[in-house]
Structure 1
Amino acid sequence: MNRPTSRRTVLTAALAAAATAGAVSSAGPAAAASPPRAPSAGAAVDNSSWHTCTDWRAGSGAGTRAVAGRRPGLVIGHAEGRTEYTDPHTGTTAAWEYATWTSPVHRSTVPATEVIASWNADTPAGTWIQIELQGRYSDGASTPWYVMGRWAAGDGDIRRTSVDDQTDGKSSVWTDTFSVDDPASGLRLVSYRLRLTLHRTPGTRLTPTVRRLGAMASDVPDRFTVPASTPGLARELRVPRYSQNVHAGQYPEYDNGGEAWCSPTSSQMIIEYWGRRPTAEDLAWVKPGLADPQVCHAARFTYDYQYEGCGNWPFNAAYAATYEEMSAAVTRLGSLTDLETLIRAGIPAITSQSFLKEELTGAGYGTSGHLMTVIGFTADGDVIANDPASPNNEAVRRVYKRREWENIWLRTKRYDANGKVRSGTGGVCYLYWPARPTPVQRRVLRSFGLL
């Protein structure tokens, strides 16, 4: 069986020194729209978002306007300017009209070492968006405007991309994550604002529609092990099962093929759990006869052309939110108790973890970065996961020991096979939910600061 390819080899290597010296976290900012949730033991997370007409009107727009309706959004009202963009992945230079929106400054309840932005948007052909972040440090200095992503749902106008080599000597952006370079110094990001630039083909009335913009900021304990939680739920959700390894060797232009598709495969499972899936027209590009062509589709449309992989966290969330009436965000949880709260409400989660083969009984592999879908808990409290790193769809459902799984997911430091200290994700996960959740689901999402 092929081992799952690392979600972010570059980020792990870059943070290794920081992990040795001090705390390594994974997170991102938030907005004043939702009350922060009291963090779980050991976690310090601030989620927030802008997604209502009131939120959009609270920001500063130049050419943008808020639109009401079942799902309020931000659109181009008029072109504020015109620019040329040379796509680094095609070499094509094209002219674009644009409008911008800048959020109010949000002071995070958590002075943060990392920030991850995420967004939900419709981008019809002829449109795309850019997402940027600017923050203020605890020493009073400000960051530059960092590009957190250039994104389109399709790949015909621009190639969706992260941007490398962004740093000011105090912080850097690694693919999709803003990170303080030296957490042990005590420097933190205390506030931030986000900026959207909406682009369209000149002379048209086309517009992207941004439904949600948010960020997650966090500073978690520096730890190799985490406290054990007490089991509190026995429930299993009926989530479709897909194996990434069924697609080994398929479409190698997207992250070397299916053996590296843990993230989009997990995304597709939860998209279908919520009753959404691509149409036959959407899938017409996939070679006939391939099993589960929707997984190939998810890989193509989550692919980050700079990272050269399908594991960009916000790109996966943005892909999920292209389906009708879907919302999505990247966040961090503090314990398996938090996951139990979501499962109890009928919300599965995609989690990121890294481990040696001997650290997770029954996995049969080790990985420096892998995504799974948590779908429930046994009566003994063990984790039921749809693990895409399985030989076939029937083998995807796994039961992993609670204590082992809890540690590999929540720790922020670990040892690799050579005994070197590496970073862990510290509870990072993606959450996808319907734009109109049930009252119970709404209460749970709000308790995490996601609504």
Structure 2
Amino acid sequence: MPNHTSRRSLLAAASVAVTAAAVSPRASAATAPSRPAPDAGPAEVTPAVEFRAWTTAADWGAGAAQGTAVEDLPGGSGDGPQGLRIETAAGTVDLTDPHTGATASWEWASWTSPAQPLAVPAAQAVVSWNAHTPAGTWLAVELRGSYTDGTSTPWYVMGHWAAGDQDIRRTSVDAQQDGRSSIRTDTFAIDTPASGLRLAGCELRLTLYRTPGTALTPTVRRLGLLASDLPERTEVPPAAPGLPAARELPVPRYSQEIHRSQYPQYDSGGEAWCSPTSSQMVIAYWGQAPTPADLAWVSPDYADPQVCQAARGTYDYQYQGCGNWPFNAAYAATYPGLQAVVTRLRSLTDAEQLIQAGIPVITSVSFRSGELDGAGYDTAGHLMVLVGFTAQGDVIANDPASPSDDAVRRVYQRRQFENVWLRTKWTNAAGTVADGSGGICYLYFPTDPDPTQTQALASCGVR
């Protein structure tokens, strides 16, 4: 029974030693005007989804830098994608890793985005990033929101992240709340959407860390903000098939189930590894794989060792699992030539455009047994890869909740899949109303997408 998101619905009671204040040396204010309470409306209401990205010199230059600078990325040019790095340390701070108990000194520099008004005030927000963090470096990502009543949230930590695990333990931060909003692992959420309160705008902050006295630096090449306000609905309006013919992308097939009970320190494989298994399928589709040196730690008795590497590379030590959405995107973007975002799609029409352009879609679904014919299980949250559509418009998925790699390919009824992916409310096997993903997905695509891919991404709001 795949279930990677069950912990996402609750905030853990325990807090960690490194707080937002300790990691964040500076802050500034932002406010926004109030608005009336939104009407959730019928199922036909179009979800409000907004995605913003920072990738260019102009994007980074619009923010407030404290010790950071912009540099051309390898193979780039002055008008192409550029990265943010440490130029001069703005200070030094001693921090204790809550998961190891080790205290270390770090030089830091920071960058803060301008206050970003949202086109449609939001009830949820997810931040994603793509970065290079050589040994001896790491980064923190934070969000501060302005409410529609003119007040502001505190600075919320959206993640402490490094590609490796030798310097810090990659982690989300629990117990962040102000009585009106909270951070649920990787997601900012208004606690009571029915109150009408919303996020009217926000600003993001990156704090980059390195070993003191070195010239090391993290380099952030993409920062993304997904803001959304979704109608509460158990049924979504159907989207008629739009592809002119069947299309299936040749995405490699990996089973999570063949890893059951492997590496308890990374949540023991099996049902816990749907997210990294799905991520690794798409990474392999784009021609990337861990090096032999990367895989040297994996037992030679285990098949598909690259899936074990993905689990280690996405594991969130606070969440105690591999299902942190931004951590999966950040892991994918550590591979050469790839970038990644977490976003929401509004319908299967969006997914069809991406498939037509050659871009697979990693989807988050939840359903009771019998709601998705052919699945053979129920789940409170599961990731699988949408790889194509049949001539009739049904969904072709690489579902890692399969007993073998050969069994991973599934065909699911279009209407059923559409509903278990896009709805925001559903009734679980215990008869309790639970949250659905509302169309959450990971998109991994080339750093230099072709015109067709660029157009398909733009049609879904991603640049």
TM class by shorter-chain length? over 0.9
Once residues 198 and 266 of structure 2 are traced to their aligned partners in structure 1, the CA distance between those partners, rounded to angstroms, is: 35
Q: TM-score, normalised by structure 1?
A: 0.92
Aligned to 1:56: 60
Once residues 268 and 85 of structure 1 are traced to their aligned partners in structure 2, the CA distance between those partners, rounded to angstroms, is: 32
SS of 1:158 mapped into structure 2: coil
SS of 1:90 mapped into structure 2: coil
Of the structure 1 ranges 261-270 and 63-72, higher mean CA displacement relative to structure 2 is found in 63-72
SS of 1:319 mapped into structure 2: helix
- Superposition pairs for residues 83-162 of structure 1, below 5 Å? 83-162=93-172
- Superposition pairs for residues 165-314 of structure 1, below 5 Å? 165-233=175-243, 234-314=246-326
Aligned to 2:23: none
Structure 2: state its 5+ residue gaps: 12-43
Give yes or no for the alignment of 1:444 onto 2:441: no
Aligned to 1:382: 394
Aligned to 1:12: 9
Give yes or no for the alignment of 1:45 onto 2:49: yes
Once residues 384 and 446 of structure 1 are traced to their aligned partners in structure 2, the CA distance between those partners, rounded to angstroms, is: 23
Contact 2:10 2:184 in 1 (8 A): no
Aligned to 1:333: 345
Of the structure 1 ranges 256-265 and 383-392, higher mean CA displacement relative to structure 2 is found in 256-265
Please tell me the residue identity of whatever aligns with 1:11. Answer: R
Once residues 258 and 284 of structure 1 are traced to their aligned partners in structure 2, the CA distance between those partners, rounded to angstroms, is: 21
Once residues 180 and 117 of structure 1 are traced to their aligned partners in structure 2, the CA distance between those partners, rounded to angstroms, is: 15
Aligned to 1:30: none
SS of 1:109 mapped into structure 2: strand
SS of 1:264 mapped into structure 2: helix
1:255-286 deviation digits (Å, cap 9, x = unpaired):
13233100000000000101111111111111
1:158-200 deviation digits (Å, cap 9, x = unpaired):
0000000000001000000000000000100010010000000
Once residues 416 and 167 of structure 1 are traced to their aligned partners in structure 2, the CA distance between those partners, rounded to angstroms, is: 27
Once residues 10 and 252 of structure 1 are traced to their aligned partners in structure 2, the CA distance between those partners, rounded to angstroms, is: 17
Aligned to 1:422: 434
Please tell me the residue identity of whatever aligns with 1:183. Answer: P
Once the two structures are TM-superposed, the CA of residue 11 in structure 1 deviates from its matched residue by: 2.8
Contact 1:13 1:422 in 2 (8 A): no
1:303-334 deviation digits (Å, cap 9, x = unpaired):
00000000000000000000012110000001
Instruction: Flag the structure with more relative contact order, 1 or 2, with Cα contacts below 8 A and sequence separation at least 6.
Output: 1
Aligned to 1:31: none
Once the two structures are TM-superposed, the CA of residue 106 in structure 1 deviates from its matched residue by: 1.0
Q: Percent identity between the aligned chains?
A: 63
Please tell me the residue identity of whatever aligns with 2:224. Answer: G
Please tell me the residue identity of whatever aligns with 1:418. Answer: A
SS of 1:301 mapped into structure 2: helix
Once residues 409 and 137 of structure 2 are traced to their aligned partners in structure 1, the CA distance between those partners, rounded to angstroms, is: 39
Once residues 195 and 135 of structure 1 are traced to their aligned partners in structure 2, the CA distance between those partners, rounded to angstroms, is: 11
Aligned to 2:379: 367
Contact 1:180 1:187 in 2 (8 A): yes
Give yes or no for the alignment of 1:406 onto 2:418: yes
Aligned to 2:39: none
Contact 1:235 1:343 in 2 (8 A): yes
Contact 2:257 2:269 in 1 (8 A): no
Count of residue pairs brought into register by the alignment: 424
Once residues 258 and 123 of structure 1 are traced to their aligned partners in structure 2, the CA distance between those partners, rounded to angstroms, is: 29
SS of 1:407 mapped into structure 2: helix
Structure 1: state its 5+ residue gaps: 15-39
Contact 1:249 1:259 in 2 (8 A): no
Once residues 297 and 380 of structure 2 are traced to their aligned partners in structure 1, the CA distance between those partners, rounded to angstroms, is: 32
SS of 2:252 mapped into structure 1: coil
Once residues 327 and 257 of structure 1 are traced to their aligned partners in structure 2, the CA distance between those partners, rounded to angstroms, is: 26
Contact 1:114 1:180 in 2 (8 A): yes
Please tell me the residue identity of whatever aligns with 2:225. Answer: A
1:103-139 deviation digits (Å, cap 9, x = unpaired):
1111111210000000000000000000000010001
Please tell me the residue identity of whatever aligns with 2:431. Answer: G
Once the two structures are TM-superposed, the CA of residue 446 in structure 1 deviates from its matched residue by: 2.1
Aligned to 2:69: 65
